[in-house]
Structure 1
Amino acid sequence: MSDLVYEILQLAGILAFAISGALVGVRRRLDLLGVVVVGAFTGVGGGIVRDMLLGVHPPVSFVHWPNLAVAIGGSLVVFFVHPGITRIRHFEVVFDAFGLGLFSANGAATALEAGQTPLTAILVGTITAIGGGVIRDVLVNTVPGVLTRELYAVSALFGAGIAVGIEGLGGDAWLASIVGGAAAIVLRLTSVARGWHLPKPRFTDERAATQE
């Protein structure tokens, strides 16, 4: 994969996730440090998990300063300009979808180029995509969105699978990352717009749903 294309995709995913995390922090009325911590960990968390799975030590974000700089910078921008952003929840979902898509496909392509099997690459891409969001939700004491939101992990699996399929057919890794990422983004945003969910448990007694 071209180093320049990889860097652009990596930083774009970090920025998108950092913005979504910072927006959550703003919505939860955290202070400046809280917003930056949630945003930065959301931005770089998935990549750190990916590197640990692939045996990259230390993780790239620990030694490559632009990753953390972009995550912190994006979080600071959100903190200071958020009064001018309307429909915060809408922006949060959009940026989260872009981070999800870019990280799923790019993570899968990176794993495949590192010599992993197609199945492993898909799983690594999916975990990379959902890792930052899980960290964000845990930090703000929310049930992770991967367990509740509209086709969240499914979108990541879809994007990672397409990326691996394109590379398997001889396509370049950068092309696989872009096409797979776009597919995941479209599916995620469409599922939100149309309210698509995986099946959930059905209860005949409403009280049973709340029992531990």
Structure 2
Amino acid sequence: MSRKVVRASKFRHVFGQGVKADQCYDDIRISQMTWDSNFCSVNPKFVAMIVDASGGGAFLVLPLNKTGRIDMSQPTVCGHTGPVLDIEFCPHNDNIIASGSEDCSVMIWEIPEGGLVTPLNDPVVKLEGHSKRVGILSWHPTAHNVLMSMRLPMFTTCPCTVVRRVRRAWATCPRGAWRSTSVKSPGFTSSMRGSVSPLS
């Protein structure tokens, strides 16, 4: 006759602790735009968040150590004429961030070393050529200064699945293909094309 033994979990008496208020970001007006985006991007120096702005699109870039209540007059990056839909920091340079917007443009920004002290209005590079809003950005993980931007008029799959496919496609994309102006990535339908723009 066998007895059933129930093993007690090691974690049943473990409780998490909430983060203190002075270690959080508070009072930030996150964008109300209905778009499937993370609305934020983080690297070892900064955190960036898309915020509500009148008269165009804007996003906030804060040093990681600047926590607590964020002042309403905090300087923003504001150069787009339409709402910002996606932002992403460059994996090779912590001070470079790209933004895509409803105004059909992609802008590359250089954030000053200590963070923003005045509003940043002039991008380093402005990439134009999309006929519809730019919804997804992705930097190449190993090649410097290569950014992919996508406009997606309609999704055949979930947008987060598209982003995962884009990142996998970067790994398998031959070197000559991402130097061209238009790349059809593996796994995409003909309505999903991404333009790849070398910055230098």
TM-score, normalised relative to structure 1 = 0.30
Name the structure with the higher helix share.
1
Name the structure with the higher strand share.
2
Task: Flag the structure with more relative contact order, 1 or 2, with Cα contacts below 8 A and sequence separation at least 6.
Answer: 1
In our comparison, the structure showing a higher alpha carbon Rg is: 2
